[in-house]
Amino acid sequence: MNTITVIEKEVSRIVEEARSFVVANLADYQAATEFSLNCKSLEKKIKADFKDSKEAAKAAHDKVCAQEKSHLQPLIEAQKIVDTRSMSWYRSYQDKLEEERGTREEAARKQSEEIRLNQAIQAEKAGDKQRSEALLAQPITVSVPKQEAPKIDGVSIVKLWDAEIIDANAIPREYLTPDILKIRQVARAMKDQTNIPGVRVFSVDSMRKRT
């Protein structure tokens, strides 16, 4: 019978025994702690039995990952170089399109203003001063379609929004996260002498085992 089979049988036996274990008095408590110590010993044995296999598997995995990285890294760097240049051109091109749209929009606005002014003049000449004033008071709205860079199959440009902190003191409370790790470190060090407003410090009994 190989080691793995022996361990599997022993673990199965221990699990069944644990399910039926009852701790109702001091003797039961002593037996339970002895049982727990035996579990700890078996745990160490299992870890020792698998130690060499795990280390060999990890070494093989690390070697394969290193080989993969050596092939991927230059490719990733090449993509970054070209993508950075592509996005730089794209932003410049979009700025140019927006500038051209602004120019067309301004030209269309001037044309609309000239048409409105002529209509107002004609209305006033015809004796319709009210209509002339209404035309001059009417706001001019001009809509020029926004142009986009040509679409390329398999590629899409999306806006990714982000944020950075410029004044930590101005951040509303609902966006602040307490440093629970630091609070627990203080609680472990100061124990029942810990005094942090808004924090309740408590202890939980935990069993430590030495084998």
Instruction: Give the pLDDT confidence score for residue 199 in this predicted structure.
Output: 95
Encoding tokens for residue 95?
């700025």
- Enumerate residues 6+ apart whose C-beta is below 8 A from 190: 201
As a whole number of angstroms, the distance between CA 41 and CA 19 comes to 19
Instruction: Give the pLDDT confidence score for residue 207 in this predicted structure.
Output: 82
Residue type for position 87: M
Cα–Cα distances in angstroms (integers) from residue 185 to residues 5, 47, 165, 205, in the given order: 43, 30, 26, 17
pLDDT band at 128 (very low <50, low <70, confident <90, very high): confident
Tell me how far apart the terminal alpha carbons of the chain are, to the nearest angstrom: 27
- 59-87 average pLDDT score: 96
Nearest to 147 by CA among 115, 100, 182, 187: 100
Q: Is the pLDDT of residue 184 over 70?
A: yes
Q: Is the pLDDT of residue 65 over 90?
A: yes
Q: Is the pLDDT of residue 57 over 80?
A: yes
DSSP summary character for residue 155: B
Chain segment 4-48, per-residue pLDDT in tens: 788 888 899 999 999 999 999 999 999 999 999 999 999 999 999
Q: Is the pLDDT of residue 79 over 80?
A: yes
What share of the chain has pLDDT > 90, as a percent?
58
Chain segment 131-179, per-residue pLDDT in tens: 888 888 888 888 888 887 788 888 888 888 999 999 999 999 999 999 9
Q: Is the pLDDT of residue 2 over 80?
A: no
pLDDT band at 60 (very low <50, low <70, confident <90, very high): very high
What share of the chain has pLDDT > 70, as a percent?
99
Let me know: does 207 contact 201? Beta carbons within 8 Å: no
- 93-106 average pLDDT score: 89
Q: Is the pLDDT of residue 129 over 90?
A: no
Let me know: does 117 contact 137? Beta carbons within 8 Å: no
Instruction: Give the pLDDT confidence score for residue 191 in this predicted structure.
Output: 95
- Mean per-residue pLDDT over the chain, rounded: 90
